[in-house]
Structure 1
Amino acid sequence: MSLSIPKTMKALVTQANKTVKVEEVPVPDIDDWEVLVKVVAVAQNPTDWQYVDTVTNVGTISGCDWSGYVVKLGSKVTELHATGLKIGDHVAGFTHGGTYKDRGAYAEYVKATYDLCWNVPEGTLSHEQAATMGCAYWTAIQCLFHPTRLGLVEPPEKVKEEVYVFIYGGSSSVGMYALQLAHAAGYKVVTVASTKNHALCKSLGADYVFDYKDPDVVSRIKEATKNSLHWALDTISKESTQILTLNSFGAGPGKLVTILPLQEKAKQLRNDVQKQFTLIYTSLGREVNLHGTIWAASPEDHAHMAEFLSKTPELVASGKVKPNPIKFWDGGLNAVSDGLQYMREGRNSGEKIVYRVA
C-alpha cells in the first residue's frame, strides 16, 4: 500500500567541515514494520546542532522531530490491522538525527517504526505544532514514567496522595512537557525558570514557580514542598542545576533523573538519592553509539514509549498536553543552518523553532 513516491528527495546532510547542506539523496526504503512519511514540518532541538558540531557523522541526515502524512506501509503493518495506521494519516514522531544516511527528520521523507509514530487527532494540531512533540516530549515521558527512571503514575491515571515533583527548567522544551504530564497525573509540580517565563510555567500546570537565580531558591522550594521532595527531573543538567536540585530534596530516599551525564560534585551529594542519566535515543529500540559509548538496543524502552504514544492522541484531544510555543522560521530546509546557528548562540528561549518542508 503506497502513494506515488519519487526515487530521490531533498535532505539536510552533515558535512565534514561541521556544517549541513541540502542534497539530493535516495528516498529511504522501509522494512516490514516501518512506515514512510511525507514530511510537512520539522522542529529543532539542541541535539541537532550538537550532533553536527561534536559527533559529525558525515553523510548522515540531520534532524529528529517531524510531522507529516503516511504514504507507505510496511507489509507487516498492512497485515496488522490493529495498528490503526492507514495511508494519508497525519502522524508525528522522533528519529535519531545525524546518525543514519537513510533516516533523519530534515528531509522530504522520513521512515519510522509503526508503533513509534502517533496519530494526530483531526482538528487539533497543525503540522508545525505536532512536530514539536518529538525529542522533548519523548524525553519527558521517559524520564517521568518509565519504570526504571522516576516511575511515576502515568496519565490518564492519577496519583492518590499529595506527592511533589520538582522539574528544573520548566520553560525548556522538555520542561514544558514535563510540567503538563506531571500535572495531568495529579502531582504537585514545582519548577524554576527565568522570571519572564513564570506565567508560562503556571499555565502549563506548575503549582509553584521560582526564580533559579534567587539566592534563597532552595529554601523556598523546601518550604513549598514541606521538605518532602523525593522525585526530580533536571532538564538542564549542568553541575549547578544538579546541585541545586539535590539540595532541594527532603530527608530520606529519593530519585533524580538527568538528561545529561551526572557531574562529579553532584555524584558526591545525597547518597540516599538515586541519580540516573537517561538517553532518549534508547527508546527507538536500536543500539546507540555516542562518542564511543555503546547503549545496547532496549526493547523495554521501545515498548514503554510505544505504549505511551498510543495515549497521546487522547491527551492532545483533551487539551491535557499542548505543544511547545512555536517560532516559525521561514525558508524550509535551506534555512535550517541559520536556525541551528541561532540556537548555538543561545538566543532561543521558551519557543520551539519549526520549519515547513512541504
Structure 2
Amino acid sequence: MMNNSAAWIDAPYADLSVRHAPMPTAGRHQLVIAVRALAVNPLDAIIQSNGRVMYGWLRYPVVLGEDVAGVVVDVGAETSDFSAGDRVVSYAMGLERGRDAVTESGFQAFVAVDAALTSPLPEATAFEDAAVMPLALSTAAAGLFEEKQLGLDYAALGQARPRDEIVVIWGGATSVGGNAIQLARAAGYRVITTASTRNHDRMRSLGAEAVFDYHDPEVVDRIVAATAGSTVAGILAIAIGSGTPSVRIARATGARRVAMASPPVLFYDQPRRAGLSLERVRLFLRLGSRSALLQARSLLGRVRASFIWGSAIAFSPVGAAVWRSYLPNALADGSHQLYPDARVLPGGLSAIQGALDTVRGGLSSEKLVVTLARHDGVDEVTAGAA
C-alpha cells in the first residue's frame, strides 16, 4: 500500500502545509506518476500572492504545481504508450479550469497526469534536470504555434527545414524564452533574442543567431536593424515590461503579431494577505493603465498583441506535435536542451514554501527544484528505473 502526501494551500494567500493527500487514480487517458522531482514556477508564487485573482475557480484547499518528473506507477485503460516503471516528465494540469486541483497538481508525492502531455525520459537524464521544463515548454509552444498567438508553422518541427523568416524573442534567458528559442529553431525559423550580456553565449548555444542586451537604450533599433529586411514572423514577449518594446519592434518590422507571456506589472508588489492596501490599489491601477496603453499602441500599429495561456496546447494539435512527436526524439538525441538549469533544494515537500518565497525575490537562468525520495512500495514496480 502506497501513501500520498502533498504541500497544500488551504486558503488564498496562506503558506503551504504538508500533510496526507488522497492517492490519485489514473483516468482513461492518464498516468499516475511517483514524483521524484518537481519544479517551482513563478505561476505558483503568483497564485499564492494574488488570492482569487486570475484563478478564481479554485476551491480551497488545493495543491499547486505544474512541473513533475518521475516514474509511472499506474496507466489508464485507454493509454497504450506508457507502462509501469517508465521514467517520464510531465505537465500537471490540476490548476486549470475544470480539472482536479488536488490529485492532478504537482506538489505531491503521487500525481495523475495526462499522457498527451507526458514524454519518456532517457535513462541518462536526471529527474531534477527534466523537471524544469514542462510549463516553460508548453507556454513557449502555445505562444509560438497556437493560431490565436503567433500561429507559426510547426509541421516541420524537428525536421531541420530552414526558412528565411525571423522570430524575435524578448527575454531569451527566461525559462519560457530558452525553450522558445529551441522550438522556433526546430521548426526552421531564425531567432533573434534579448538577454543580459552574461547569458549571450548560452542563448547562442540554444540556437539564437543574434543576441542583444535588453539594458541597451538602443536595443529596439539594433534588433530592427538586425532583421535586415527579412520577414519577421512574430515577436514573443517574455518577462515584465517586454510588451512595449516588442510592439515597437513589430511596428518597425511590419510584423503583425506579438504574443505576451508576462503581465506589464510584477504581481509580487503587494502584501500577501486579503483586503485592500495602498500597494494593491497602486498595482492594479498600473496594470490597467499599462495594459490599456499597450493595446492602444498595438491597434495604432495594426499589431495584434495577445496574452499566452500555456495550457491551450492540451486542447489543440500543438500539444501532440510538441509533447508526443517532437520531444521524445529531441530529448533522446540531445537536440532539445533541458533549460534552465536546476537549482536543487533539500527538504522535500517542506522546502516548497521557501522556494516560492525565493522566486518572489527573482531568479535568472535557473529554476528551483525539489527532489522527493523513492516511495515505499514503488521500487519493486519500477525495477530498473533510476
Tell me the TM-score range normalised by the shorter chain. 0.7 to 0.9
Asked if 1 retains the 8 angstrom alpha-carbon contact of 2:258 and 2:306, the reply is yes
State the Cα distance separating 1:139 from its structure 2 match: 0.8
Residues 1:96 and 2:116 are matched in the alignment: no
Residues 1:275 and 2:280 are matched in the alignment: no
Deviations for 1:261-282, whole angstroms, at most 9, x for unmatched residues? 5722221224322222121133
Residues 1:55 and 2:58 are matched in the alignment: no
Structure 1 alignment gaps of length 5 or more: 78-82, 285-298
Q: What letter is aligned with 1:275?
A: A
The aligned residue for residue 287 of structure 2 is none
Deviations for 1:286-315, whole angstroms, at most 9, x for unmatched residues? xxxxxxxxxxxxx33xx4212321120111
Q: 1:202 aligns with which of 197, 201, 204?
A: 204
> What is the alpha-carbon distance in structure 2 between the residues aligned to residue 268 and residue 210 of structure 1?
27
Which one is further off, 181-190 or 104-113?
181-190
TM score, norm. by length of structure 1: 0.86
The aligned residue for residue 293 of structure 1 is none
1:75 counterpart SS class: coil
State the Cα distance separating 1:162 from its structure 2 match: 1.4
Residues 1:309 and 2:323 are matched in the alignment: yes
1:199 counterpart SS class: helix
Asked if 2 retains the 8 angstrom alpha-carbon contact of 1:253 and 1:274, the reply is no
Which one is further off, 262-271 or 126-135?
262-271
> What is the alpha-carbon distance in structure 1 between the residues aligned to residue 95 and residue 149 of structure 2?
26
1:306 counterpart SS class: helix
> What is the alpha-carbon distance in structure 2 between the residues aligned to residue 160 and residue 320 of structure 1?
15
The aligned residue for residue 163 of structure 2 is 161
State the Cα distance separating 1:253 from its structure 2 match: 4.6
Asked if 2 retains the 8 angstrom alpha-carbon contact of 1:170 and 1:179, the reply is yes
Asked if 1 retains the 8 angstrom alpha-carbon contact of 2:5 and 2:20, the reply is yes
Q: What letter is aligned with 1:186?
A: G
> What is the alpha-carbon distance in structure 1 between the residues aligned to residue 162 and residue 205 of structure 2?
23
The aligned residue for residue 243 of structure 1 is 244
> What is the alpha-carbon distance in structure 1 between the residues aligned to residue 31 and residue 256 of structure 2?
40
Compared CA separation, residues 220 and 19, structure 1 to 2 (3 A): same
Q: Percent identity?
A: 30
> What is the alpha-carbon distance in structure 2 between the residues aligned to residue 117 and residue 269 of structure 1?
39
The aligned residue for residue 133 of structure 2 is 133
Task: Give RMSD over aligned pairs.
Answer: 1.9
State the Cα distance separating 1:176 from its structure 2 match: 0.7
- The correspondence of residues 148-227 of structure 1 with structure 2, limited to 5 A, is 148-154=148-154, 155-158=157-160, 160-227=162-229
1:269 counterpart SS class: helix
Asked if 2 retains the 8 angstrom alpha-carbon contact of 1:52 and 1:98, the reply is no
Q: 1:43 aligns with which of 36, 39, 47?
A: 39
State the Cα distance separating 1:215 from its structure 2 match: 0.9
Asked if 1 retains the 8 angstrom alpha-carbon contact of 2:152 and 2:233, the reply is no
- The correspondence of residues 258-337 of structure 1 with structure 2, limited to 5 A, is 258-260=260-262, 263-270=291-298, 271-284=301-314, 299-300=315-316, 303-310=317-324, 311-324=326-339, 325-337=341-353
State the Cα distance separating 1:251 from its structure 2 match: 4.2
State the Cα distance separating 1:24 from its structure 2 match: 0.8
1:71 counterpart SS class: strand
Q: What letter is aligned with 1:86?
A: S
> What is the alpha-carbon distance in structure 2 between the residues aligned to residue 104 and residue 112 of structure 1?
8
The aligned residue for residue 11 of structure 1 is 6
> What is the alpha-carbon distance in structure 2 between the residues aligned to residue 199 and residue 30 of structure 1?
43
Asked if 1 retains the 8 angstrom alpha-carbon contact of 2:9 and 2:17, the reply is yes
TM score, norm. by length of structure 2: 0.80
> What is the alpha-carbon distance in structure 2 between the residues aligned to residue 165 and residue 159 of structure 1?
15
Asked if 1 retains the 8 angstrom alpha-carbon contact of 2:141 and 2:318, the reply is no
Deviations for 1:293-343, whole angstroms, at most 9, x for unmatched residues? xxxxxx33xx42123211201111222211121111111111111111111
Q: After the TM superposition, which parts of structure 1 deviate over 6 Å for at least 4 consecutive aligned residues? A: none
State the Cα distance separating 1:105 from its structure 2 match: 0.8
- The correspondence of residues 336-355 of structure 1 with structure 2, limited to 5 A, is 336-346=352-362, 348-355=363-370
Deviations for 1:148-189, whole angstroms, at most 9, x for unmatched residues? 322223322345531111001000000011111212223221
Asked if 1 retains the 8 angstrom alpha-carbon contact of 2:94 and 2:103, the reply is no
Structure 2 alignment gaps of length 5 or more: 53-57, 265-290, 374-386
> What is the alpha-carbon distance in structure 2 between the residues aligned to residue 203 and residue 253 of structure 1?
26
> What is the alpha-carbon distance in structure 1 between the residues aligned to residue 359 and residue 46 of structure 2?
10
The aligned residue for residue 115 of structure 2 is 114
State the Cα distance separating 1:67 from its structure 2 match: 0.4
> What is the alpha-carbon distance in structure 2 between the residues aligned to residue 95 and residue 148 of structure 1?
23
Asked if 1 retains the 8 angstrom alpha-carbon contact of 2:35 and 2:69, the reply is yes
Q: 2:237 aligns with which of 234, 237, 241?
A: 234
Aligned length: 328
Which one is further off, 135-144 or 98-107?
98-107
